[in-house]
Structure 1
Amino acid sequence: MDIFLDASSYLTSHGISVSEDSREDPEDDQVFTLDSDPTSADIQSDSAYTSRSSDGSVTFSPICPDTPLEEDPERKLQTRKRVLKKILENERIYVSGLESLLVPLRPLKAAAYTSQPVLTSQEIQAIFFKIPELHDIHKEFYSKLKERIEGSNNPASVADLFQQQVKQFGVYRAFINNYPIAKDTTEKCVQTKEQFRKIAEKMWVKHSKDSSEPTTTFEALLHTPVSHLTRLTLLIKELLFHTPREHSDYCQLEGALNDSNIFLAATNQKIQQKNSVRTKAQHLVKDGYVVEVTENTRKLRRIFLSPDLFFCVRVKKQAGRQPQCKCEWYIALEELSFQSQSDINLMAPGSLQMVAQSDVEGAKGRLMETKIEIYLEKKHNKRLDRLKKKLFDIESWLLINSPAIPLGLQDRNGKSYLFLLSSEYELHDWQESIERLKKHGSQAPSSPSEIQTLIHGYIGQQEACNLPLHSNLEDPEEKTLKGTMSLKIHSLSGFTQLHDVYCCFEADTNGYFEKKAQTTVLNQVKNPQWEDEVEIQLDGTQSLRILMWEQHDYRVSSEQRQKSGGDRLMARAQIWLDPKTLLSKEWKQNLVGMNRYEMSYSVRYLHQSLSQLDEFSGAPRGIFGVPISIVTYRDRSRVPLIVRHCVEDVERRGLDELGIYRISGIATDVQSLRAAFDSNPKEAVTHLKDYDVNVVAGTLKLYFRELPEPLLTDELIPSFVAAAAQEDATVKEREMTSFLSQLPDPNLNTFLYLMKHLKKVTEHEPINKMSLHNLATVFGPSLLRVRHEGLPMDVSHEVVAQVQVIYYFLSDDNISLLEQRERLGSVTL
């Protein structure tokens, strides 16, 4: 789009002459165009549309027509009225274009949360960013301007509308900053998504009241806000020119034009600055997330490598949002050197053992359990936000605490920096990249201000990158690799002498790589041929890394081995995994180059459900301390089998037992039965009769006490307590019933089952002496357990509230409600 020709044609068509020599300077035409790179274009204020006289002075020519200095005021007002009508028509066409852009927005949003979305919610946000806000602003402006123009033969005042409009230009700043992302996302989606391509290729816009509705492309409409800023500024200047100085609008219009020019000039400056940074930022060599150890504390960092600089950025994680970044420090490559393993151990001897491997494996187990919980709760859309937050917290903990492979750096002054990585591949990639750049020689660092600009450019370039390890729960199950990949290494060629070799395999979990498997060591071979078949568990995996190592001679002393650096990495390669090509379940043989070597291998992939993955994930297989939704999922039962079997045994042997549930069983026997259920539930059931019935009752109570979350849930317990304190019986019943129905299905089914059982216990009260109040006192603190988190509380008051809730559901007046729910199918046993 040529904005000068567009403006000239626009003015000429309405009887306003335009100087022909105003195109002398090519810089006068620097605006966003559909064919140009939006990141390298400028938005110009009206002052940029100038012509140059022979003496080099600058005058405004396209805006100021060749008219006498003193035009007839009446004629000026008539021309002013025509200009206002042109502005009104310009706004109508612009609003019409924005409305056309918004037509597909609602159905695209609705489809984003179905099983077959046209665009993801992130893509919709990127493409339609600020379009609704711009539409609302200009629709209101158009309506008010139309009301004033059509309501008077010669409107006295409209300048306040233009002033208000210019004040809202800040929305355009946000739109323009996002425009390159919107344009790139649109182009990508048009190329890869057929349904969106059909939408984008043909959009209807009504350009005039009498014309039929012509078509244009989505990309062309998306560009209109970029050019509209300059067009509107030109029209404000034209309106000012045809407004007499004594007119009440003149001063306000002059102020609006000045504010518009200032905004456009500032926006143009920022664009030019971004262009300069982006040009330099194209030389970014490598970046990635790591953990920095400072004073024996682990901090998440992002490190960047350019041809002459290495710098470190602080990362602030935010659930559901992009991480915030801030530069911590940087070093010129010419001043950078690596630390040896002995130096690292001397600098931070405890840094690599700060987190026990058992804690890391436990966190991975909880991660899998939480994913299953989210999968189960998606069906009912309950507690999803809290579970997603829990998933984010576990993944964040693993991201910081699981890396243990050290990368030590120091500057020429001896100041050291220690990073921890999870991948040997990444470690060697960083080392080789830095050594290669240092070998070729690095340029002297720029000035501090230029370095800061460069750093901000790198960070800005990477804003769209997600943190590794954090699960994308929006990805369709069938489009992600979740399951088992079997791998056979047939042979390695390219050796010229005998070696002791083995291979390691790393796979990523949502971008986070770690070692998954290793072959046996082949000793003194020239043409290695393995017979191994290794299995690698995949979870959101996108690529597989293969590292070939030469084993160090184990016969030498440990001191010599330490000096030599241990095993030597001979070659490495990365293989991208395509879900489409792996779904056949058949073996697929491939070749991959590894430096000067070539590897022949075969792969086979078996997609697995979450429950199958759970069996291989290392997650705790027990019952106690495991979320109830996971236990019921594994048991294929609405109520945990441990609850059912313990209840059945108490009803068979303990209804007439004095103080059942109140008198504790022998503690060692309770722990023995607990361990039996954790290791082999089916076998534990067969031995229930060998335990005292009070031990069985105590084991049931222990199960509820050790749930990671109380049965009535952390979220709903305060609501239950408040509802139980209601004095109005009708209100109390309505609220208690409402909160009960909000429990997750496994919790609700188990609670109803337990209440029915306890009611049966009270039917034998004359013998067992267990009243409703006694049972409520026993089970209240277990079922409504409150997390104090170290804060002092009045526990006696808390217990009273817990007892009130359970007593309410056990009372004669409300047991019928529970039985009715059971008959309706809330719990089928």
Structure 2
Amino acid sequence: MEVYQEAVAYLESQHVPVEEETEVLEEDVFQEEAVSCYLSPLNTESIDFPDTPTSCSPEEMLERRLVVLKGILESEEVYLRELDALLMVSSPQNTVILTLQSSSTCSHFSSLILIFRRERAGCCGPPMFDQLTDPASSFSLSPKPMKALRAAAGTSQPVLSSQQVQTVFYHVPELREVHQTFYSSLKARLGSGEEVGMRHFELEVGDLFLKMVNHIGLYGGFIENYEKAADIVRRCTHPSFRTLAESMFSNHGADKARTKYTFEALLYKPLDRVTKTTLALLVRAPRMMNRFIQRPRDLLKTTPEEHRDYAALQETLRLSRSFLSGVNESSQSKREVTLSHGMRRQLIRDGFVVDTSEGERSLRHLFLYTDLLLCTRFKHAGRGKQDQYRFCWYVPLGDLRLRWVADQEPPLDTSILRTKMFHLRQQLQRHLKGPKAVSLAARSRKKLEQMELMMITLSPVYRLELHSPSHKSRALLFSSLYELEEWREAIHKLTRDNIETVPPDLLTLTGACVKLRMTQHPPLHSSSAEEDDRTLCGTLSVAIHSASGLQEPACVYVSVEVDGYEFYDRLAQTHSSVHSLSPHWDQELSFQVDGAQNMRVLCVSQSDGQDDSILGKNTMKLEPKSLSRRWRRQTLALGQAEVTLSLKFCPHPLDPPGSAAQRLPVFGVAIETVAQQEGVLVPHVVRCCVEEVERRGMDEVGIYRISGTTGDIGALKAAFNSNLREAVTRLRSTEVNAVSGVLKLYFRELPEPLIPTAMFQSLAKILDVQDWSTKMDSMLSLLQSCPDPNRHTFLYLLHHLQRVAQSQDVNKMSLLNLATVFGPSLLRPPVAGLGHNGPTVDISQEVVIQVQVIFCYLQCNNLPEAQTSLPYSEDPEDETTHL
């Protein structure tokens, strides 16, 4: 027999009146499931929301909604008074005297006088209580009745034992606190009648219901404990307790009318509340015509779909019904399956993923149980029928091997869909400016949600492979590496326990998914009820600087993900660092965001010949008030590593996705343009090639003199022009001479040489200076006049070539040899007829000057250090924040 029926049967046996709604409640609450808003993402009729009245205008709906809210407030007030009576907490307006007779043998009685006195007149807050004293035993009791009963339990004449008191009042004070907070907040939101009438469309209360339903677990504990508590109350025959249990009062309304309750009836109130009142506020089934539905409709049905409360109320309904279904399921032990180690099969996690096992992408609902992974397809039923899940496949967790593929799936072309979503979003924002466009806004929102469902199916690029001992493999796709890692961690944790899988009854297991699911809706950002001023719209720039704290050297990259609408790409990654304990990137990632609230950061280790591994992950809340147009440096803890990054945000209206400027190529473009585009002083192509040569080319004979194959160099050039991350990945496996060839090619194809042409004549004259110290001072001084990207890139290259020459005994590359290789690429004479002044240089002396200038710079022992990136924290008030 289920908990609710048992409670009703017990109350009837004790002659406690119960409203005759049990049969309808059982049918609607425990059997009818919450409404899902998802069908196939490719179906234009895929979203089904709870019905809203079509026979009345939006204004009338909102007026009815206001009436429902006022009814809810009145109901909460009555419920709080009943809880107060159960806890024997007096009202501030009254003084109550209760006499408790305590006796263990019924031959001796002593009076416990509880005098609740009101605090000073006009003072707000809870009432003050006089001390409670037992004249027979001469001990002082706590002002709170529960503590008084507990203290009395330690005497020679207890009414109830300490354990019994704790059982009887289990979770009741906590429930009162939750409902008191909800009542006070709701009352403050409603305010005066005139004020609410003017702003009822903007009135939001969904967050209050969500906050309250998040504490619904307290009712779970109360329900589980109720039978024990009711048994104690029933068995306690002491006259003292029966006198108290049969004469408890609650004040109702402004007329201070008093209602008499028995202890049993008050103890039943929370159970009655969770099985009837909680869902009566939100449930859409018209058959539940109880006292709350009759005033006049439930809250969700009177809330328009475009109202910001709609999604929150749907989620509240889902959580409430999931809770009650869970209570119903837990009472039916015959459905539980005992696994090895005495464990029972439980649902650990569920959510929406893209399944590719059937050769095409399909959005599926995945359920992770203690011993198996179940993939299902949701089937939406018609009105009045129960929704169902259809079985797709299941995989036992025993000996299951996981592998996530770092190489992303080829992205599908969704540009047209993104553009349509963008324009729908613009229409929706215009429609929301007034309540008269309610129906038009609802249609636009529904279309946007349908398109977002399609994006969820088409956009995932991260692949998680499941390999079972039976040689069957499954592949799941995720649009978020962060989400993939959460699933991988949850599965890996269960597989470590080596639990034996009991062959499931697939029909029963799939049928229970509706009741057991913890996630009902796909993650639609368009359903978010957040205020626009709490989200970001504009350009978010993230500069990834460096990482520390690695346990061993590794090639590491950082992945960044932002949420929001799917108009623009919401994930980006740095290139992979060199093999190091302290990797650094100084790489700027830029996001066009609309509705962004959170940023996820992952630190990933990349190993040759092995699967990539995630070293750590973390989530940052994007607070518009804490972001500005200036860079702010922060340190983020990601597992074993700490990543230093900087953030800045520039709010602005967004252009359609199709009109976004394409990324410029790297080769053949002025170095200042490339540096500005990448947000650095030394272009990434230079740094990455230098790091790779220093990693595995320092002992290569003839490095920079012997060139690599033309095909490898061309492939690397194309990669750098299109995708930095792909280019760096190619660098790791390409012949090192091809890497050095790419670096030389970059400098050779610069439209303006690294050392500006205007400086050629001045440098040629300085070469004639005989004093070495004077010569070097003049050359370094002239170098300061170069643009910042040119100067810092040149200094960066010079330091690198000096390190190469330190191994000249092995690589046979001296400073002069290196100057001979790089001189013609880094310095060029002016071209006659192009506006350059001064005499032209004979071609025979041209090469000599080029080589000698570079050779002089390479011989300098006090070269300034190169700065590779822009200063990301110029504001002296900006301090590093550790998250």
TM range (shorter): 0.3 to 0.5
Larger fraction in helix:
1
TM-score by length of 2: 0.38
Q: Which has the higher contact order (CA 8 A, sep 6+)?
A: 2
